[in-house]
Structures are given as C-alpha cells and as structure tokens.
Amino acid sequence: MEIWINPACSKCRSAISLLDAEGADYTVRRYLEDVPSEDEIRAVLERLGLEPWDITRTQEAAAKELGLKEWARDADTRDRWVKALAEHPKLIQRPIITADDGTALVARTDDAVRDALSR
C-alpha cells in the first residue's frame, strides 16, 4: 500500500495517524517532492476509476492561473488534464491510497482510510 501525501495537509496527517494506529504496512510518497509522471497519474486514475478532473484541486492558485474551471472535461482533453497534474502536482487531490488489491481511493475521511485497509 502506498499513500501520496503533502505533509502540510491535515487530511494527510490524519490518514497517516489512522494507518499507524491500525498497524498498516505502507509507503509514504511525498508527491510534491517525488512528482508522479503522467504515466503514473494515468495508472492511479485507472485504479481510482476516476478522470483527472475528478482529482484536481480547482481552488489552488495554479488551477486559477491555468483557467482549469473552463477546460472541457472529455476524452479529447484528458491528456491535457493529466499533463497539468504532472506539471503542477499541488493540484492533485490528497491523500491518495493505492490499496493492496490493485484499487486506489482518495482517502480524505477516516472511513475512506478504513476502506483502503479492508481491500
């Protein structure tokens, strides 16, 4: 199991605390420092069953500068969204846990973290 975190994020710290309390075996990826490639983002999106715009933090300054709210959300613009996430990793929603069963989820709640632990 791997968890993508930003240590400054309270939801990430909460998720780590719960994983520790449950004795989970996991790896931490500080994705702002160890930036995922476009292929890694695509792989995580497939595991999540989501599209790139579903995991994009549209309130971030970079999102506003790029005008993401106006971008189309369709198959033709999917690669553009993935590229934006790779170039501006702060736009990636967090934390993301890749579960042992090959799935992944955005673990912003304790229930979501527990769900990842049960997979």
Kindly state the tokens that stand for 115: 């769900």
The number of beta carbons lying within 10 Å of the beta carbon of residue 28 is: 15
CA distances from 105 to 43, 58, 81, 96 (A): 12, 19, 19, 6
**How many helices (DSSP H) and strands (DSSP E) are in the chain?**
5, 4
Report the catalytic residues. 9
Q: Would you say 20 and 117 are in contact if contact means Cβ atoms under 8 Å apart?
A: no
Kindly state the tokens that stand for 35: 């930036």
